[in-house]
Amino acid sequence: MAQTENQISQWIGLVFFRDLVNGLSLTLSYMFSKTITEQYPDKEKWVPFERYRGHHFLTTDENGDTNCVACELCAKICPCDCIEVVPYEDEKGNRRPLVFDIDMARCLFCGLCEDACPADAIKLGQHYEFSSESSEALIVGRDALMAAPQKASHGGKVFEARLTKTQGVQVQEIENGQTYDWWQRIRRR
Protein backbone atom coordinates (compact mmCIF):
# COMPACT_ATOMS: atom_id res chain seq x y z
CA MET A 1 0.00 0.00 0.00
CA ALA A 2 2.75 2.41 0.94
CA GLN A 3 4.71 1.31 -2.10
CA THR A 4 1.92 2.17 -4.54
CA GLU A 5 1.38 5.46 -2.76
CA ASN A 6 5.06 6.18 -3.18
CA GLN A 7 4.90 5.16 -6.82
CA ILE A 8 1.87 7.36 -7.46
CA SER A 9 3.61 10.24 -5.79
CA GLN A 10 6.65 9.63 -7.96
CA TRP A 11 4.53 9.61 -11.12
CA ILE A 12 2.81 12.84 -10.13
CA GLY A 13 6.19 14.40 -9.48
CA LEU A 14 7.35 13.27 -12.91
CA VAL A 15 4.32 14.69 -14.70
CA PHE A 16 4.45 18.01 -12.93
CA PHE A 17 8.24 18.34 -13.03
CA ARG A 18 8.64 18.32 -9.27
CA ASP A 19 12.43 18.08 -9.35
CA LEU A 20 12.71 20.85 -11.90
CA VAL A 21 10.41 23.08 -9.89
CA ASN A 22 12.55 22.46 -6.80
CA GLY A 23 15.61 23.67 -8.63
CA LEU A 24 13.76 26.64 -10.07
CA SER A 25 12.45 27.74 -6.68
CA LEU A 26 15.95 27.57 -5.27
CA THR A 27 17.39 29.76 -7.98
CA LEU A 28 14.44 32.12 -7.70
CA SER A 29 15.15 32.62 -4.02
CA TYR A 30 18.80 33.23 -4.84
CA MET A 31 17.84 35.75 -7.51
CA PHE A 32 16.09 37.94 -4.97
CA SER A 33 18.48 37.62 -2.07
CA LYS A 34 21.37 39.89 -1.29
CA THR A 35 24.58 39.25 -3.17
CA ILE A 36 27.73 38.52 -1.25
CA THR A 37 30.17 40.13 -3.64
CA GLU A 38 32.69 42.41 -1.97
CA GLN A 39 33.04 45.28 -4.39
CA TYR A 40 36.76 45.86 -4.05
CA PRO A 41 38.20 48.35 -4.97
CA ASP A 42 35.31 50.48 -6.08
CA LYS A 43 33.21 50.51 -2.97
CA GLU A 44 34.56 48.24 -0.27
CA LYS A 45 37.74 46.92 1.24
CA TRP A 46 38.45 44.05 3.51
CA VAL A 47 40.40 44.89 6.67
CA PRO A 48 41.87 41.65 8.01
CA PHE A 49 41.64 40.42 11.57
CA GLU A 50 44.14 41.55 14.18
CA ARG A 51 46.15 38.37 13.92
CA TYR A 52 46.82 39.02 10.21
CA ARG A 53 50.50 39.20 9.26
CA GLY A 54 50.77 42.10 6.81
CA HIS A 55 53.16 44.97 6.43
CA HIS A 56 55.67 45.44 9.23
CA PHE A 57 55.88 48.51 11.42
CA LEU A 58 58.21 49.65 14.20
CA THR A 59 56.53 50.67 17.42
CA THR A 60 57.46 53.93 19.15
CA ASP A 61 57.08 55.16 22.71
CA GLU A 62 55.38 58.38 23.85
CA ASN A 63 58.28 60.57 22.81
CA GLY A 64 58.35 59.28 19.27
CA ASP A 65 61.52 57.34 19.90
CA THR A 66 61.62 53.83 18.56
CA ASN A 67 61.44 50.87 20.90
CA CYS A 68 63.92 48.89 18.86
CA VAL A 69 67.34 48.40 20.53
CA ALA A 70 68.98 46.91 17.44
CA CYS A 71 69.67 43.58 19.12
CA GLU A 72 69.45 41.91 15.69
CA LEU A 73 67.46 38.97 17.03
CA CYS A 74 64.87 39.47 14.29
CA ALA A 75 67.57 39.45 11.63
CA LYS A 76 68.98 36.23 13.05
CA ILE A 77 65.69 34.39 13.23
CA CYS A 78 64.42 35.55 9.84
CA PRO A 79 64.31 32.45 7.59
CA CYS A 80 64.77 34.57 4.48
CA ASP A 81 67.61 36.86 5.60
CA CYS A 82 65.61 39.88 4.64
CA ILE A 83 66.22 42.08 7.70
CA GLU A 84 69.37 44.12 7.90
CA VAL A 85 70.08 45.91 11.19
CA VAL A 86 73.01 48.20 11.94
CA PRO A 87 73.16 49.51 15.55
CA TYR A 88 74.56 52.88 16.69
CA GLU A 89 74.55 55.06 19.75
CA ASP A 90 72.19 58.05 19.62
CA GLU A 91 72.58 61.40 21.42
CA LYS A 92 71.08 60.16 24.67
CA GLY A 93 73.42 57.18 24.79
CA ASN A 94 70.82 54.58 23.88
CA ARG A 95 71.42 51.76 21.46
CA ARG A 96 69.22 52.34 18.43
CA PRO A 97 69.17 51.05 14.86
CA LEU A 98 70.98 53.20 12.34
CA VAL A 99 69.86 51.04 9.48
CA PHE A 100 66.78 48.81 9.66
CA ASP A 101 65.93 47.48 6.23
CA ILE A 102 63.36 44.82 5.50
CA ASP A 103 63.24 43.44 1.96
CA MET A 104 59.51 42.97 1.37
CA ALA A 105 60.18 41.02 -1.79
CA ARG A 106 61.97 38.29 0.14
CA CYS A 107 59.87 38.40 3.27
CA LEU A 108 57.41 35.56 3.69
CA PHE A 109 55.46 37.28 6.48
CA CYS A 110 55.89 34.40 8.91
CA GLY A 111 55.94 36.71 11.94
CA LEU A 112 59.00 35.11 13.55
CA CYS A 113 60.64 38.52 13.88
CA GLU A 114 57.62 39.72 15.81
CA ASP A 115 57.84 36.65 18.08
CA ALA A 116 61.57 37.01 18.59
CA CYS A 117 61.66 40.70 19.43
CA PRO A 118 62.30 41.23 23.19
CA ALA A 119 61.21 44.86 23.06
CA ASP A 120 57.92 44.48 21.20
CA ALA A 121 59.36 46.78 18.63
CA ILE A 122 58.66 45.10 15.32
CA LYS A 123 55.11 43.97 14.65
CA LEU A 124 53.13 42.93 11.62
CA GLY A 125 50.01 44.91 10.86
CA GLN A 126 47.02 44.67 8.55
CA HIS A 127 48.27 46.68 5.61
CA TYR A 128 48.48 44.51 2.51
CA GLU A 129 48.33 46.79 -0.47
CA PHE A 130 51.92 47.71 -1.16
CA SER A 131 52.69 46.36 -4.58
CA SER A 132 55.26 48.45 -6.37
CA GLU A 133 56.82 48.74 -9.76
CA SER A 134 60.42 48.07 -8.82
CA SER A 135 62.16 45.64 -6.49
CA GLU A 136 64.28 48.41 -5.00
CA ALA A 137 61.20 50.24 -3.80
CA LEU A 138 60.26 47.17 -1.80
CA ILE A 139 63.24 47.49 0.55
CA VAL A 140 61.66 49.45 3.38
CA GLY A 141 63.90 51.51 5.62
CA ARG A 142 63.74 52.46 9.28
CA ASP A 143 61.84 55.71 8.91
CA ALA A 144 59.30 54.20 6.55
CA LEU A 145 58.76 51.36 8.99
CA MET A 146 58.20 53.78 11.84
CA ALA A 147 55.68 55.63 9.72
CA ALA A 148 53.95 52.50 8.44
CA PRO A 149 50.31 51.95 9.46
CA GLN A 150 50.00 50.52 12.94
CA LYS A 151 47.66 47.74 13.94
CA ALA A 152 44.17 48.64 12.86
CA SER A 153 41.78 49.25 15.70
CA HIS A 154 39.07 47.45 13.83
CA GLY A 155 39.54 44.24 11.96
CA GLY A 156 37.79 41.32 10.37
CA LYS A 157 35.19 43.42 8.63
CA VAL A 158 34.50 44.88 5.24
CA PHE A 159 34.77 48.64 5.13
CA GLU A 160 33.44 51.26 2.84
CA ALA A 161 36.33 52.47 0.71
CA ARG A 162 37.09 54.28 -2.50
CA LEU A 163 39.75 53.93 -5.09
CA THR A 164 41.81 57.13 -5.12
CA LYS A 165 44.45 58.03 -7.63
CA THR A 166 45.75 61.18 -6.00
CA GLN A 167 48.73 59.78 -4.13
CA GLY A 168 49.46 56.83 -6.31
CA VAL A 169 46.70 54.29 -6.67
CA GLN A 170 45.26 53.23 -3.36
CA VAL A 171 42.03 52.08 -1.85
CA GLN A 172 41.26 54.34 1.05
CA GLU A 173 38.77 53.68 3.74
CA ILE A 174 36.14 56.31 4.25
CA GLU A 175 36.09 57.92 7.67
CA ASN A 176 33.08 56.73 9.65
CA GLY A 177 31.94 54.73 6.69
CA GLN A 178 29.72 51.70 6.95
CA THR A 179 31.14 48.39 7.95
CA TYR A 180 29.66 44.93 7.97
CA ASP A 181 30.69 41.42 8.80
CA TRP A 182 31.01 39.60 5.51
CA TRP A 183 30.85 36.14 7.01
CA GLN A 184 27.42 36.75 8.51
CA ARG A 185 26.09 37.69 5.10
CA ILE A 186 26.77 34.37 3.46
CA ARG A 187 23.59 32.46 3.05
CA ARG A 188 23.79 29.06 4.54
CA ARG A 189 21.19 26.39 4.27
186 Cβ partners below 8 Å, 6+ apart? Answer: 36
Q: Does an H or E element contain 121, and which?
A: none
d(CA 146, CA 156): 24
CB under 8 A: which stretch of 23-31, 61-69, 96-104, 117-125 binds other proteins?
23-31
Nearest to 83 by CA among 101, 60, 59: 101
Interaction with other proteins in 91-120: which residues (CB under 8 A)? Answer: none
Using the minimum distance from each CB to other proteins, give the nearer residue, 135 or 164.
Answer: 164
Closest distance between other proteins and the C-beta of residue 169, in Å?
A: 15
Name the 3-class secondary structure at 52: coil
Provide the mask over 28-67, with x wherever binding to other proteins is found by CB under 8 A and - wherever it is not.
x-xxxx-xxx-x--x-------------------------
In this structure, what DSSP letter does residue 174 have? P
Nearest to 114 by CA among 68, 46, 155, 65: 68
Closest distance between other proteins and the C-beta of residue 23, in Å?
A: 5
User: Could you say whether residue 11 binds other proteins (CB under 8 A)?
Assistant: no
d(CA 4, CA 168): 72
Using the minimum distance from each CB to other proteins, give the nearer residue, 20 or 147.
Answer: 20
The pairing of strands 157-164 and 44-47 is antiparallel
Total residues at interface with other proteins (CB under 8 A) = 16
Using the minimum distance from each CB to other proteins, give the nearer residue, 70 or 161.
Answer: 161
Closest distance between other proteins and the C-beta of residue 154, in Å?
A: 25
User: Residues interacting with other proteins, by CB under 8 A?
Assistant: 20, 23-24, 26-28, 30-33, 35-37, 39, 42, 187
